[in-house]
Amino acid sequence: MSKAFATIWRNVRKGDGPAAVAFLAPSFGGITVFFLLPLIDTVRRGFYDVRGVNFIGLESYVSVLNNQAFRLAAANTLKFAAVCIPLLMVVSLGTALLLRSIKPMGKFFKTAFLLPMAVPVASIVLLWQALFNEGGLANTVLLRVGLEPVAFMDSGAAFWVLVFTYLWKNNGYNMILWLAGLDGISETLYEAAHADGANALQTFRYVTLPCLLPTVGVVSILSLLNSFRVFREAYLVAGAYPNDSMYLLQHLFNNWFMNLDISRLSAAATMLGVALLLIILVMRRFLDEKD
């Protein structure tokens, strides 16, 4: 961020200032109106009562931290991110490597893996209900092979249904990011490794992975942010009050808004924002060091 500002300032001093400002103004205006001002208002509301009139200090923050629903939702969200993000990164990287190795059909498979992104959420929900309902396809298969049916949406299995949804939906997108990263690695490095007698695993460990580190940062941050978008599917499949294992922060935020509990909602959202920012900063610091 500071680099960007330094560049702008340098251009201003060089005399390109008005043009730079004019080019930046639309985006900056949009970001201010649609992002910065609501963000400031959200932070402010966390310290005020519901009507935004009376200052109540840290009352909402204390209430949020003591709230059992918040604790459950935060724990579930953290667990979901902790399980999903590494899993998605591994699976999508594997998919990308696989795609590069099957060049004749690469384009076809690339499109096929991207298709879930194009499917509307409502359609996915219908599909999921057909698959995971009490008498759905998954249970029919389980019964056919002699296993007990599973209450996918009313038990701990709901969490894994959500994980599967997230992987299925985001794998294609992450795969594209990995492919871009892989394309950026110079062929000469692979040729040198090959000349030195490195096998495929060693080439991956000592050439591919180190070169992919900048991509890891981008992919992990985007995966983290995308993990918050799985709420749409969870909400449409299981409603505002799903099984405990599927109860995420977004469910809580949605329900608090329905109940007009804006102060606690704002406080919780602020805390979540700060936590995300810290995680991203730590990740960047870690990746910068590796760089």
Partner 1 sequence: MKKWFVCFVCAAGLLLLATACGRNGEGGEGANEETSRGESRRVEAGGERSGRYAEVDITPPIEGRIISMVAQDGSLVAFDEGLRTRYDSGDKGVTWTQSPGPGANDDRFTNVQSAALLPDGRLLLYLQGYGMTKLSPDGTTEHFPVAEIDDAIAEGDSHNVSLIQLLDDQRVLLNYGVDWLARFMRENPTGMNNITHGQGSQGSGATGSRTEVRTSEVRMSGSTAGGGISAGGNNISLGGMFGQTTAIHDIATGSLISDLETPGTLGANNNGDVFTLQGHSILRHTSDGHIDTFLDGTAFTFGSASGTAAAMQEIADGCIIVNVSMYGQYNRLFRYTWDHDAHVNPQKTISIWSLEDNETVRAAITEIWRLHPDACITYEIALSGDNAVSVSDAIRTLNTRLLSGRGPDILILDGTPVESYANRGMLLDLTGRMDVSGIYQNLLASYTDNGRLHVIPTQFMIPALLGDRSELSNVRTLAALADSVVNGNPAAPLISGEGMLGGVPKEERAQLHFGDLRELFDIMWQANAPAIVDGNRLDSDMLRAFLETTKAISDMYGLTDTNEMMAGSSFLSFGGGGRVNTVPASLVTYMLQSTNMGAFAVTNLSLLHTMMDRGDGEAFIEPFPGLAPGVWIPSTLAGVSADTANPDFAAAFIQTLLSVQVQQINHGLGLPITRSGIAAQIDLINELMRERNMPLFGVDLDAFIARLNTPTNIETTLRNMVWETVERLCQGRLDVEGAVREIEQSIRNYLAERS
| Contact residues for partner 1, defined by CB under 8 A | 18-19, 22-23, 25-26, 29-30, 33-34, 49-53, 67-69, 72, 134, 154, 240-241, 243-244, 247, 251-252, 255-262
If the CB atoms of residues 233 and 261 are measured against partner 1, the closer one turns out to be 261
CB of 69 to partner 1, least distance (A): 4
Please give the backbone phi and psi of residue 55, each rounded to the nearest 5 degrees, phi first.
Answer: -75, 130
Closer CB to partner 1, residue 129 or residue 226?
129
The 10 Å Cβ neighbour count of residue 249 is 23
Q: Which is closer to partner 1, CB of 70 or CB of 113? A: 70
Residue 162's alpha-carbon distances to 28, 146, 228, in angstroms, are 36, 25, 12
What's the number of CA atoms in the CB half-sphere (13 Å) around residue 195? 6
Residue 251: CB atoms within 10 Å: 23
Minimum CB separation of residue 160 from partner 1 in Å reads: 18
Give the integer Cα–Cα distance in Å for 10 and 14: 6
**Could you tell me the smallest distance in angstroms from the CB atom of residue 244 to partner 1?**
6
Nearer to partner 1, 158 or 230 (CB): 158
Q: What is the closest distance, in whole angstroms, from the C-beta atom of residue 142 to partner 1 in the complex?
A: 17
Q: Taking a C-beta distance cutoff of 8 angstroms, is the pair 256, 265 a contact?
A: yes
Q: Which is nearer to partner 1, 135 or 146 (CB)?
A: 135
Tokens matching residue 255: 């329900």
Minimum CB–partner distance for residue 80 and partner 1 (Å)? 16
- CB-wise, 13 or 103, nearer to partner 1? 13
**In the structure encoding, which two tokens stand for residue 267, read together?**
């406080």
Nearest Cα to 260, choosing from 13, 50, 112, 36? 50
Task: Quickly tell me which residue has 């049916």 as its tokens.
Answer: 149
Shortest CB 246 distance to partner 1, Å: 11
